[in-house]
Amino acid sequence: MNYPYPVMYKNVYKYDDMKRAEHMAVRTTVGWYLWTHQLVEVTGPDCAAFLEYIFPKNIGNLAPGRERYTTMLDDRGEIIDDVVVFRMKEKKFWISTLFRMDMFRWFEAHKGSFDVSWTDITPQWEMYAVQGPKSLDMINAMIKNPVDNMKFFEIRANEIDGVSVYINRAGYTGEKLGFEIYFPKTEAPAMEEKLRELAKTFDGREVTEFQVMAWTLPCEAGFFYMRDLRHTNPFEVGLEGGINWEKDFIGKEALLKVREEGPAREVVGFTVADADIHIKGRNMGNEGEFVYKDGEYVGRCMKICYSFVKDTNNGTIICRKDSLKPGDKVTMHGHEAVICAPKFI
């Protein structure tokens, strides 16, 4: 091998104490971090009807203060975004996305005669995630009105040191207890200082590593990152639940065909016992490592990261439907992987 150093592929997660500590703080105490997404405000007399048409899940039946996770599909039924839609008021919705420019183009293309408008309110709002078993206590220690009785996917106005904020019970970590604080961007330095100090009293810490907040924590919980979903349809990735087939929505026709014929692919989970590996996952932006079972090509590696709870390499594969089942052994770039459900905790 023409390389000046010993090739070790030393695991970038397993031996990294910082990543481990940040990840495990969320699982055992509390972790807080900047988690601002792009925020789109949708208003107008037809805003609910418009969003009903844009998204396959029900939007119009959301009560103010409640929210829903949904995909956004193109005409072929492929997922082009996955978002959380909040109903802030009867005629005011917020959409949390990471691809607002694409969303604006899509909205514009489908506005038709709907009396609706949308605005990018990202510059006004910062958002911190506070996640983990002690997150409720930490949030309650900050805010004016305790949030003990909040339901999952509920957002409520509150106050922190006289500043109006929204507390949202939600998260991207799979923790039973997790909150998000929306507050004016101008308050970010003070808010961050407060979170930093308060976390110490709960034995918590700040999550600073992108890989932990976007990959290791969500992957353990079976959550997708939009890159994982690109060029898939909801049936292939298990997100077909909750679709309202009674209404008209973009992509419905194509998706009905998939429902009738059955999806061609599905997502499975895997673990790799080898500690130090070189496996390409699409989460880095590439074709994804080819997956072979008994020498036959069955799919691609969708995501490769690490479960600090299980202490093993983990990830997801998108494969031919019914080609892999839990317990199967496959190879990826020479490494053996064992198939499991795409949820690890």
Partner 1 sequence: MSKKIDPRIPKEVGSGLYPVKSPWDKMISYHDAAHYVQRYTNVVSAAIMQAFRMLVPDYVERSKAMCTNAYNRLSYVYQMIPGYPEMNADELHMHPFMRGNFVGGLIGDAGDEDLLMCGRVNDFGTYRAEKELDICYWDLVGSELCRSTTQSLQACADHAAKLRPEGPHIEYHMVEARGCGDRHCRIVAECRKKFPMPPHEQWECFGPVATENQIKFTKEEDCIDESMMFREETDYLFSNGTNMEKDWRSAYPMVTRSYGATYILPTLDDLIREGRLTDEQVDYAIHCLCEAAGKATFIDDFAKEGLRVWLGAPHEISKDDGRLMGGYLEMFLQSLHAAYEIEAFNGEECIYAIDRAALANNMPKMVDAYLWFWYGMTKSLVNAQWSLWEEDSPEGKLRIKIAKKVDKFC
Task: Give the integer Cα–Cα distance in Å for 162 and 151.
Answer: 24
* Contact pick of 23, 27, 37, 57 for partner 1 (by CB under 8 A): 37
Nearest 10 degrees: CA dihedral of 182, 210, 223, 328?
Answer: -170
Sign of CA dihedral 241, 246, 251, 254: positive
- State the nearest-atom distance from the C-beta of 282 to partner 1, in Å: 7
Terminal Cα-to-Cα distance of the chain (whole angstroms): 39
Task: Give the integer Cα–Cα distance in Å for 156 and 149.
Answer: 11
Rounded CA Rg of the chain: 21
What is the total count of residues that contact partner 1 (CB under 8 A)?
Answer: 43
- State the nearest-atom distance from the C-beta of 102 to partner 1, in Å: 9
- Phi first, then psi: give them for residue 21, nearest 5 degrees: -65, -40
Q: Give the single-character DSSP code of 284.
A: G
The token duo for 12 is 């970038």
- State the nearest-atom distance from the C-beta of 30 to partner 1, in Å: 18
Residue 9 or residue 245: which is nearer to partner 1 going by CB? 9
Residues in contact with partner 1, shown as a per-residue x/- string from 60 to 99 under the rule CB under 8 A: --------------------------------------xx
Residue 205 or residue 252: which is nearer to partner 1 going by CB? 205
Residue 188 touches partner 1, criterion: CB under 8 A: yes
Task: Give the integer Cα–Cα distance in Å for 60 and 280.
Answer: 41
Residue 186 touches partner 1, criterion: CB under 8 A: no
Considering only residues 213 through 232, tell me which ones interact with partner 1, judged by CB under 8 A. Answer: 213, 226-227, 230-231
Residue 8 touches partner 1, criterion: CB under 8 A: yes
Q: Which residues bind partner 1 (CB under 8 A)?
A: 1-12, 18, 33-38, 98-99, 101, 122, 127, 188, 208-211, 213, 226-227, 230-231, 278, 280, 282-287, 333
